[in-house]
Amino acid sequence: MSLHLEPKTAVLLETLAAGGAEVVATGNHGSTQDDVVAFLREGGMTVFGSRADTIEKHHENLAGVLDASPDILLDNGADLAAGIVERGTQTGILGGTEETTSGGLRLRGELAGSIPFPIVVINDSILKAIGENRHAVGQSVVESFMRITNLMVPGRRFVVAGYGWCGRGVAQYLRALGGRVAVAEIDELKAFEAALDGYRVDTMESLAGWGEVFITATGHPDVMGPAIFPLLNDGAVLANCGHFPWEIDVTALKARASGVRVLDDAIERIDFADGRHVILLAEGRMMNLAGREPKGNSLESMDLGFLLQSLSLERVATRAETLEPGAQPVPDDINRDIARRMLAAMGADR
């Protein structure tokens, strides 16, 4: 497993171990909670990683997981799948799951045709898109923005980059709390949807001088890069909620800086020679798992996501031959089974 190591994922690992699985795990770079790692190790699991790990150390942790010769991969960002392809040692792997948009893009992009076993992309599930991406990520990103910055949402101008399921949710919850929201989206159909939903829609270049807070939610690299930074207002806040810390080009941003100051656990002030400054949250990493008391998505929403993970892993373990090699969506019968369970738990059938 390579997944954010925090309390909710610890419960997932405990559940898998209770079912008889031998778990070897590492976290994702920059989001690992050290107390959770200690707890899992005390329970006898092999767990690599700490919050302070460098990217080089993170790659060593991934190698440690792959050295255990896994039968099934539980991946986040396709790091384990990429490692398997790089090693050329796919023999014996039944398959796996991938949690994120970013990982799904890698599996269907740079890794396309290289994966000889099935990988169920949890993020392709319409159930996860609605319950976890739109509503849970939307809610947790807005909560994290307020918690980390102590800034108000009402009346503030927000630019949300990307109108996929996560971007929809972020925009929805910002507007619900009184934020003035614009959407930067390069896909014509998604931009059309955002416009009909009542948002201002434009390019990032056009919105750079309007926005006060910028939140990237695309899964793609270089959404905010060197062409955007000179256009930003003094005091603009930059944040990312995508899996990889590549949507904001932090290296290029700091290369332009006349000074960088760490103001808090997840806040940096980037000063420019022309007198402007911007605020960068969480070093461009996933903001809703950052700060002094990171919460991430709600327990209820993660219940849904982990049901999808668990039942998809069960399908790989017991009926891998019914699945195609490479990236694929969650089987429809699993989606519908979980939807019925969630409706019953919510009392929606009463």
pLDDT tens by residue, 168-205: 999 999 999 999 999 999 999 999 999 999 999 999 99
Please give the pLDDT value at position 88: 84
Which stretches of 165-295 are DSSP H helices? 165-176, 188-196, 204-207, 250-255
* pLDDT of residue 304 exceeding 90: no
Mean pLDDT in the chain?
Answer: 93
Residues 6+ apart with CB under 8 A from 58: 26, 28, 29, 49
- Write out the two tokens for 167: 């971007």
**Phi-psi region for residue 20, left (φ > 0), alpha (ψ -120 to 50) or beta?**
left
CB 119 within 8 A of CB 125: no
SS3 category, 2: strand
Instruction: Note the pLDDT of residue 291.
Output: 83
Q: What is the pLDDT of residue 89?
A: 66
Q: How confident is the model at residue 236 (pLDDT cuts 50, 70, 90)?
A: very high
Residue 76: exposure state from Cβ atoms within 10 A (0-12, 13-18, ≥19)? buried
Which pLDDT score, from 0 to 100, does residue 297 have?
77
* Predicted pLDDT of residue 306: 85
* Mean pLDDT, residues 288-316: 84
Query: Which has more pLDDT, 29 or 331?
Result: 331
Residue 144 has pLDDT above 90, yes or no: yes
* The model's pTM: 0.80
**What pLDDT, on a 0 to 100 scale, did the predictor assign at position 8?**
84
Our separate counts of H helices and E strands in the chain read 13, 14
Tokens found for residue 141: 């990103």
The CATH superfamily label for domain 7-127+297-346 reads: Adenosylhomocysteinase-like (3.40.50.1480)
Q: What is the mean pLDDT of residues 253-276?
A: 96
User: Distance between CA atoms of 182 and 180, rounded to whole angstroms?
Assistant: 7
Q: How many other C-beta atoms are found inside a 10 Å radius of the C-beta of residue 55?
A: 9
- In 3D space, the residue among 56, 112, 55 whose CA is nearest the CA of residue 246 turns out to be 55
What pLDDT shows up at residue 29? 86
pLDDT at site 350: 58
Q: What pLDDT digit, counting tens, does each position of 25-46 carry?
A: 999 888 899 999 999 999 999 9
C-alpha 286, offset from chain centre: 6
Predicted pLDDT at 215: 98
* Two tokens, residue 330: 């969650």
**Residue 172 to residue 220: CA distance in whole angstroms:** 21
pLDDT in the model for residue 90: 60
Q: What is the average per-residue pLDDT within 246-254?
A: 96
Q: Is the pLDDT at 243 greater than 90, yes or no?
A: no
Q: Which of 295, 348, 170, 315 lies closest to 307, judged by CA?
A: 315
pLDDT over 70 percentage in the chain: 99
* pLDDT recorded at residue 230: 97
Q: Does the structure show a pLDDT above 90 at 301?
A: no
Q: What is the pLDDT of residues 77-126, one digit of tens each?
A: 999 999 999 988 666 899 999 988 889 999 999 999 999 999 999 989 99
Q: What is the pLDDT of residue 324?
A: 93
138-289: CATH superfamily: NAD(P)-binding Rossmann-like Domain (3.40.50.720)
**Structural domain boundaries in the chain:** 7-127+297-346, 138-289
Residue 349 reports pLDDT greater than 70: no
